[in-house]
Amino acid sequence: MFRSLIAVGAPFQAILKHHSILARTTWVDIKAAYAGSVLGIVWVIMGPLLMLSVYALTYAVIFKVRIPALSTTEYVLYVFCGIVPFLAFAQSLSAGTLSLSSNRAVMLNTVFPAEMIPLRSVLVGSASMVTGTMILLFSDFMWSKPSPLFLLIPVVMVFQIMFSVGVCWMLSLVALLVRDLAQLIYFITMMLLIITPIAYTPDMIPDGMKTLMLFNPLYYFVTCFQYIIILDRVPPVDTLVIGASVSLAFFIIGYSVFHRSKQVFYDFA
């Protein structure tokens, strides 16, 4: 029992211990990611907006998809609610998986903990989720009254980041051995883009496919965003419980695997 409590608290303790250097290096990486470009850090905002434009043009204009309970404007925002967490996860997964192999010198540095490298990459990749959520909330304020349910959004964001970090802790080690993992991640991301209910509602999913949707972790985060911001409703309890449980489990297991295995994988760095 005592060992289990230590295992659960270990990743949180590590982050708390190194939060200062983690915050500084994360901000440096965010600025460096857009250094040299014309718009600079504005791309953190432009990225989600461009993705929204493509989806809105495709589904609302070309395919003329309509959801009976939503107006065209609300449908566009509904789609944006799915794009924001998906884009953050895709960027985090790509950067976090390759974080160790692209930062070998830092990984072997005894000053900066190796556990913080994938975490830092995930935080950088999740920057678009913060700006995208702010755009979403501002847009929703223009069309409806603010809801106290909006206070749940930061909680959903934290759980998504925890899930992403847990996955990247494990995949970043595998990437040191399997060089083709980056290509595989690309196809996994494209598959998730299709099977995640971004431009369609869960009710539109065929009954035979709904069970498979439960194995898609992004389903829980996207659904929470859409329910809270656009539908102004508390997400289904099972969605909240399963999403939070999966996030916490991956976060704890991912840290444990990384912490115990990193010395072995260092030989391949």
Distance CA 57, CA 55 (A): 5
Residue 2: pLDDT over 60: no
- Residue spans of the domains in the chain: they are 2-268
Model pLDDT for residues 224-255, shown as the tens digit of each residue? 999 999 888 999 999 999 999 999 999 999 99
**For the whole prediction, is pTM greater than 0.85?**
yes
Q: What is the pLDDT of residue 3?
A: 59
Q: What is the pLDDT of residue 91?
A: 92
Q: Six-digit token pair at 147?
A: 């809801």
Model pLDDT for residues 141-155, shown as the tens digit of each residue? 887 777 889 999 999
Q: What is the pLDDT of residue 92?
A: 95
Average pLDDT rounded to a whole number, residues 55-79: 79
* Structural contact between residues 25 and 120, judged by C-beta atoms closer than 8 angstroms: yes
Model pLDDT for residues 176-196, shown as the tens digit of each residue? 888 888 889 999 999 998 889
For residue 61, give the amino acid letter. V
Sequence-ordered alpha helix ranges (H) in 126-152: 127-143
Distance CA 174, CA 118 (A): 12
Distance CA 78, CA 222 (A): 10
CA distances from 113 to 95, 109, 148, 199 (A): 17, 8, 38, 40
Tracing tokens 């859409």 back to the chain, one arrives at: 226
Burial class (CB within 10 angstroms; exposed 0-12, middle 13-18, buried 19+) of 242? middle
Under the banding of pLDDT at 50, 70 and 90, the label for residue 8 is: confident
Model pLDDT for residues 121-142, shown as the tens digit of each residue? 999 999 989 988 988 888 888 8
Residue 7: pLDDT over 90: no
Q: What is the pLDDT of residue 226?
A: 93
Query: Pick the residue with more confidence: 146 or 22?
Result: 22
